[in-house]
Chains A and B, each alone.
Chain A
Amino acid sequence: MIDSKEKYFLGVDVGSISTNLAVIDNSKELIESVYIRTDGKPVDSVQKGIKLMRDQLGEELTITGAGSTGSGRKLTGVIIGADIVKNEITAHALASLHYNPDVQTVIEIGGQDSKIIIIRNGIVVDFAMNTVCAAGTGSFLDMQANRLEIPIEKFGELALQSDNAVSIAGRCTVFAESDMIHKQQLGHPTKDIIKGLCEALGRNYLNNVGKGKDIRSPIMFQGGVAANIGMKETFEKYLEQEIIVPENYAVMGAIGAAILAQEDAMKRPKKSNFQSWDISEMDFQTSGFECDGCSNICEIVEIRRNDTLIARWGSRCRKWDLID
């Protein structure tokens, strides 16, 4: 599978819940991917992810370019030595377009963010992200799955078994949870509650994130929540259109980052900044302190690799900033 003449590109997507890595070849085909939980420790999870990737691909494989994305993209970029650091909207759109060049709408629901990307003729023309509310995102589903003691992987299947969804308020997670508890105490079966929850979240997404957007087919549904078949059904029910869930729905962000790295390397051939596969053995220390220069009390973060300071950021006045 691995060809020594071929060029390989790495993409890393560090989100709030999961850390994904993808390696693609020069024709943007996915070679290998890794999906692990971030568990609130982005540096550790990137190291772990790199180690897993190395174990799967072997150390001989050289990386020609690396990209990082996701909410932890800046930190990740410094750790792995990324050649390009891009936002997740662009990354997701590119990955979707590679998977299906005709795609017109991308629904992406991750751990903390949910977004809609409107694409026409292969160009992103509009996008929206959830604003001040996290209802309907992966972390809420995760929390509810925990509370009901159902493995999150089974959530969707269970929802499909029900044909009588109970009504749940999806506008706010606090309301949704109290509704769920109320319905559960009345004796409704769990599968009906879960189906009701999926429908509530789907409605909330379409009214909140998808508000005023022209949703046209083909519609792609990706991100961690796409694993939930119940959510896919909900979207099909409300949009009355077919929803495509790509095979690698969970690592689309990472694939997008890898594609960005590949395009960047094609345009500006240069030596990659990518550290090496030994990242997992390096010692990364992050430390923080509060600057007392003014009453902003900025929280400054320092990142050290094997005791050398490699990056520092966090000050509003930028006096501490240090990024190579």
Chain B
Amino acid sequence: MPLSFPYVGTFTYVFESIARGMKRDDIIVPDEPTYRTKQLGSQHSSEFVCTPFKMLLGSIIEVIEKGAYEIVATVFVDYCRLGYYSPLYKIILDDLGYDFDLINLDWFNKIEFFTSFKKLACNVNAVQAFQAFRVGWIKNRYIDQIDKTLYSYGAVEIEKGASYKVAHKLYRQVVETEGMKNIRMLPKIIRKTFDDEVEIDTEAKPLKVGVVGELYAVVEPAINLDIMRRLNDIGVITETPITFTRWIDLGQRMNPFKKWHYKACIKHAKPYVRYPLGGKTRESLGAVIEYKEKGWDGVIHLYPFTCMPEIISRSILPQVSKEHDMPVLSLVLDEHTGEAGIQTRLEAFVDLLERKRNDGNGF
């Protein structure tokens, strides 16, 4: 039965790798979300549900239209509405009369997790399935590496758009590389390709801005109006600590010496919020302090309209920002495509950072 999954930023490449590793030749790779995806999603969801719900629903409908039957809907649940996503998708898609099978990979429900996983891995035995998953989490590291390199090279590249071209080529290369020996060569190849093919301005002193907030809002360019690239275009280096590594990278999770960025953030956030409130509430707050300590210039906080956990962080952020003298810009995202508003805020924020750095002397 054709297998597919909704599009979630560059994680899509990782998912594709895992499915290929499990010898699923019948996968249907989702397309990047477009205007139509947004429309499809909001047409069939309740008005006040969070924007990621709508976007993912749109993406699921699109893959079903392309012929998918088995669909991996969510990979984990949280304390917020994310836990309702999958049951609601089932009801909505049933009502629409589609023929499909939603697969839930919910780690907290071990029995369901393993039955679902078995369904996914129908072509291979348990050892091969685990191996495919392992290759997936290792490739995830390299996809993250490309993202990270891209968002810093993009700010200082001389020919605009060069690093984006290189990155897209490399994403494909990561997905298609087979054999552990070749995969282990990838970090070197990524570094070398960027160094060789992107000419950078070594004189530039770019600002550095961390992007935090709700997972989907941060990783999916279609909802955040390509904020990383917008920042790069105005000469700002950016990065996001929010990737899928912390969930799927069992290798790093089992390493007791691994220093997790999000754990450090949660510790920083303790004076403000002591317990998990879902989403990335504590991480968003703590990241402001973490980036300050790292010597970065500012933090941008993204959250989808009506996202409950991030509304909490948004209300506490001004205080954190003031107490630690770190500029924070909170941006609310919805289906809108009017880019002028977001561009104005970003430019003004960057002006502010630049003048702060130069201590008030010019731009």
Residues of A within 8 A of B (CB): 71, 86-90, 113, 121-127, 129, 131-132, 211-214, 263, 267, 294-297, 316, 318
Contacts and interface: CB of A to CB of B under 8 A. Distances in A.
Contact of A90 (B37, B327, B351): B351
Contact of B327 (A88, A121, A125): A125
Nearest to A266: B362
A296 B360 contact: no
Interface in B325-344: 327, 332, 334, 340-341, 343-344
B36 A127 contact: no
Given A89-B344, A90-B347, A123-B355, 10 more contacts: A71-B340, A87-B348, A88-B348, A123-B352, A212-B318, A212-B319, A213-B318, A295-B34, A296-B36, A297-B34
Question: Chain A binding site: helix, strand, loop or mixed by DSSP?
Answer: loop
B344 A214 contact: no
A125 B332 CA distance: 20
Contacts, number: 71
Question: Chain B binding site: helix, strand, loop or mixed by DSSP?
Answer: helix
Contacts of A297: 34-36
Contacts of A127: 348-349, 352
Interface of B: 31, 34-37, 161, 226, 305, 315, 318-319, 321-322, 327, 332, 334, 340-341, 343-345, 347-349, 351-352, 355-356, 359-360, 362-363
21 contacts: A71-B340, A86-B351, A87-B343, A87-B347, A89-B344, A89-B345, A90-B347, A90-B351, A123-B359, A124-B348, A124-B355, A125-B352, A127-B349, A127-B352, A129-B344, A132-B332, A132-B334, A214-B322, A295-B36, A295-B37, A296-B34
B347 A86 contact: yes
Given A132-B305, A318-B161, A126 B327 contact: yes
Closest 8 CB pairs of A and B: A89-B348, A212-B318, A296-B34, A87-B347, A295-B34, A295-B36, A87-B344, A123-B360
Nearest to A263: B362
B341 A124 contact: no
A296 B35 contact: yes
B34 A294 contact: yes
